[in-house]
Amino acid sequence: MGRRWIYGAVAAVLVLGAGVLFLTERPITVSVVQPEQDVALRIYGLGSVEARILSRVGFEVGAALTGLAADVGDRVVRGQELATLDPAEQEARTARARAAVAANVAALARAEATVARARSVLAQRQTANQRQQGLAQRDVTSIQRAEEAQRDEDVAHADLAVAEADVAVIRAQGTDAAAALQQEKVLLARHLLTAPYDAVIVTRHAEAGTVVRAGDPIFTLIAPETVWIQAYVDEERAGQLALGQAGTIRLRSQPQAEFQGIIARIGLESDRVNEERRIWLTCTDCPQPMYLGEQAEVRITTGNRNSALMVPEVAITGFDGHRGRVWLVRDGRLEQAELTFGARDDRGRVEVMGSLPEGAAIVARIPQGATEGRRARTRTTP
């Protein structure tokens, strides 16, 4: 009985050992990457259709909207009428300012006539004074009459000075009245809203009869020739971007089509939260019209390799953007190695820099149970 139990235990241990040996030593099948020819290096970005020149236009004064001459989708030219405000109150103010200018003109004419009269009186007083002074010197008239004649001339001089000062004051008031009239005319002109440039109406924010305040947007306009694609690119990949690089654009409304674009601007400030960099692409063959805010995918071509070994990032451990460890199959067994990596593409792959050990291939997907020295069979990754 005891022997039988010992034999059974030994058999169980042998079976267990054979099973463990089979599981750990049997070859596992792994996918490996192969060098590729004519590899395009692309960077993926997600963004939307935007316009470089976009304006929310409104009145600089407040009043009731009396008319709207444009609607969404309309193309307008610079200076074209878009909307009008009720001008009655401002017209009254303009008329009042115009009347003030007319009153000033009349007052100025009267003051100038007073100056002319004062000059005539002064000339008369000067002549009389000269005569009285001559008679006094010959003792023909009294000194008192001569003094009175001199006093009358001095008073005439003062009256002329006062009249001339009145003219200067009225002229200054005229300048002020003319400026006030011009101001009221400008405010009256601001009751008419015109297009600041050749544009397309994107949004109409108000309707006729609405009382609007100064600065309230009435229309949103864009310059159609400035429509472009704004996209966000991961900072880890943004270092390969440069102005003038070509890319493809895919709009959400037309996923089956690809359009061509060129990087026109790279943002100088990255998003600190999402760790992304903004870029803008002009589109050379996009459909018309373009719809602002529509989602767009871009793929920027940053380079091309005649031959490259591209490794999926998921197959790299401890990857810091430059170096990392991968599994290799060499002489039919698995081993790990640290490699240096370079450019990335839009498929989540990284270019291997340098050469591999002779006879080694990189594992494309880390298999379960991978250990150093384990036997492996290879197949080429698709």
Q: Are 93 and 167 members of one domain?
A: yes
Domain count within the chain: 4
pLDDT one-digit tens code per residue, 215-273: 999 999 999 999 999 999 988 888 889 999 999 999 999 989 999 999 999 999 988 88
Lowest mean pLDDT among 30-34, 41-45, 145-149: 145-149
Strands of the 199-204 sheet, one edge to the other = 54-58, 217-222, 199-204, 75-76
* Statement to judge: residues 75 and 212 lie in one domain: yes
Is 13 among the domain residues?
no
> Is residue 375 in some structural domain?
yes
Residue where one domain finishes, among candidates 305, 328, 356: 305
In a domain, 4, yes or no: no
Plot region of 350 (φ>0 → left; ψ -120 to 50 → alpha; else → beta): beta
Length of the chain: 382
Name every residue whose Cβ is closer than 8 Å to that of residue 332 and which is 6 or more positions away in sequence.
27, 375, 376, 377
Residue 5 makes CB contacts below 8 A (sequence gap 6+) with none
Residues 326, 237 share a domain: no
Claim to verify: residue 211 and residue 283 sit in the same structural domain: no
Q: How confident is the model over 274-308, as pLDDT tens digits?
A: 889 999 999 988 888 889 999 999 999 988 888 88
Q: Which CATH number characterizes residue 336's domain? A: 2.40.420.20
Say if strands 36-51 and 81-85 run parallel, antiparallel, or are unpaired.
unpaired
Q: At 79, which CATH number?
A: 2.40.50.100
State residue 19's pLDDT score: 47
CB 32 within 8 A of CB 311: no
Q: What is the pTM of this model?
A: 0.69
Q: Print the domain residue range for 344.
A: 27-37+307-380
- Same domain (yes/no): 106, 156: yes
Distance CA 345, CA 341 (A): 12
CATH label of the domain that carries residue 231: 2.40.30.170
